Structure 1
Amino acid sequence: MRRPLFSFSSLTLVLLTNAGIPLLPISLGKPVIAVPVSTTQDRRNEAIRLNGIGLQQYNQGRFREALETFERALAFAKEIGDQALYGTTLYNIGSVYVSLGQYSKALDFYNQALAIAKEVGDQALYGKSLNNIGFVYRNLGQYAKALEFLNQALAFAKEIGDQAGYGTILGSIG
């Protein structure tokens, strides 16, 4: 299954790095260890940690495991009311659904992530969500809808000065 042009890898890595959470390699087949959490900060760190683990599982092609891990992270983000983290996790889940070929579910999660990104002012998440929504519509053969979102992503990339994103989106449009 083809992955979206903008994967969530870099977005999640930035989130993890900014939070000071180290990334540890995960062996194939090993279960995700539960970490006791008691404070809001513990819950936030756990959501970030789970996003990192989900990212590693995703990159290893372990999509079902990644989905379960991201869903656990989503619950923590929702519980503590961290909208930015919640939006990033929704985006990550959307990316898993793309890889599983479940495009309608991917659209649902990407659209939720897009709304939250707009609400909290997360430019990276906003641009990547627009682009990936366009990507999904293209995969569904809904080319007019795909072009609508890709053009929005293109205009946004230009507006914020994201030259790399602008070039990538131009390539997507053709």
Structure 2
Amino acid sequence: VAAVGWAREERFAEAGVGLALCLAGYLRWRRYFDDGIAVAQAAAEAAQLAGDRDGEAGAWTNLGNALKEAGRPGEAVEAHTRARDLFRATGDRRSEAIAWNNLGLALRETGQDEEAIEAHNRARDLYQAVGDRHREGMAWDNLGLALREAGRTEEAIEAHSRAGELFRAAGDRHGEGMAWNNLGAALQKVGRVEEAIEAYGKDLEICREFEDWYGEGQTLQNLAFAHEDAHRPTEARTAYLQAADAYTRANALTEATQSRTWAANLDTPTP
């Protein structure tokens, strides 16, 4: 992280930008969002000074992702818009599709559901055009999230199912797990609780394979909601406490506390 800061010196610019792009996934995975923002900002400045438009666009992409995760979705929309415009100017259609996909996620966080749906559709169509079936799966999965937020749940179920098929075909186990979790949430929303519980179980197996503790916490929390819907408070309480443990391992202490509170509320009999 410190070394990326040296990228602002001309002689280190190229190496610094490359290092920043390599660090982005790890920093996101471990939820070091402040470091992610600092690294991406330094890389964007260095790439702009060096005239590296591809590197600059990649840095704006990583900055947008870090800003969204840090709870700053409005700034993330701006960053992903910059990235999209840069990729479009260089004629890189696959990377432009990535930018559309990320823009859709940020738009959804700001409540702009219809704009998010349009962005994910653009991403999906571009991925199809360049034959990138794996990333097409990502676009389908994110499209499903936006459709569910817009109240179009049956379409969301179809989108997440399609995403899961594409992830399996590409051998992306982690992506397949996310699709199972999102499918579970959509199924639960239309009252298909037992199918939702089955979907969450499949995602849990995959999260544990990857030691994706935050993802495990999210899925266990969703599983607890499903057990509550099915009037099984004991199973719900167990899932909430397991979610709290997973969130603690992920250093997501706010989420861990919330899960423990929900578990405690189930211990209190309703009058």
- Name the TM-score class by shorter chain: 0.7 to 0.9
Aligned with 2:60: secondary structure? coil
Question: Which letter maps to 2:169?
Answer: E
TM-score (norm 1): 0.76
Displacement of 1:156 in angstroms is 2.1
Q: What residue ranges of structure 2 are gaps of 5+ in the alignment?
A: 1-27, 30-39, 41-54, 65-74, 225-271
Map of 2:93 onto structure 1: 43
Displacement of 1:51 in angstroms is 1.5
Give the superposed CA RMSD.
2.9
Task: Calculate percent identity across the aligned residue pairs.
Answer: 26
Aligned positions of 1:132-147 closer than 5 A = 132-147=182-197
Mark the CA change 1:127 to 1:94 in structure 2 (over 3 Å): closer, same or farther.
same
Map of 1:101 onto structure 2: 151
* Contact kept? 1:44, 1:76, Cα under 8 Å: yes
* Contact kept? 2:104, 2:116, Cα under 8 Å: yes
* Contact kept? 2:174, 2:210, Cα under 8 Å: no
Q: Answer 1 or 2: which has greater helix percent.
A: 2
* Contact kept? 1:134, 1:146, Cα under 8 Å: yes
**Higher RCO (CA 8 Å, separation ≥ 6 residues):** 1
Paired with 2:161 and 2:192, the residues of 1 have a C-alpha distance of 16
Paired with 2:59 and 2:176, the residues of 1 have a C-alpha distance of 23
Aligned positions of 1:116-131 closer than 5 A = 116-131=166-181
Question: Which letter maps to 1:101?
Answer: G
Mark the CA change 1:57 to 1:171 in structure 2 (over 3 Å): closer, same or farther.
closer
Aligned with 1:20: secondary structure? helix
Map of 1:71 onto structure 2: 121
Displacement of 1:94 in angstroms is 0.4
TM-score (norm 2): 0.51
Aligned positions of 1:26-65 closer than 5 A = 26=77, 36=88, 42-65=92-115
Aligned with 2:58: secondary structure? coil
Mark the CA change 1:35 to 1:171 in structure 2 (over 3 Å): closer, same or farther.
closer
Question: Which letter maps to 1:88?
Answer: M
Instruction: Name which one, 1 or 2, has greater alpha-carbon Rg.
Output: 2
* Contact kept? 2:181, 2:203, Cα under 8 Å: yes
Paired with 2:108 and 2:208, the residues of 1 have a C-alpha distance of 30
Paired with 2:219 and 2:85, the residues of 1 have a C-alpha distance of 38
Mark the CA change 1:162 to 1:38 in structure 2 (over 3 Å): closer, same or farther.
closer
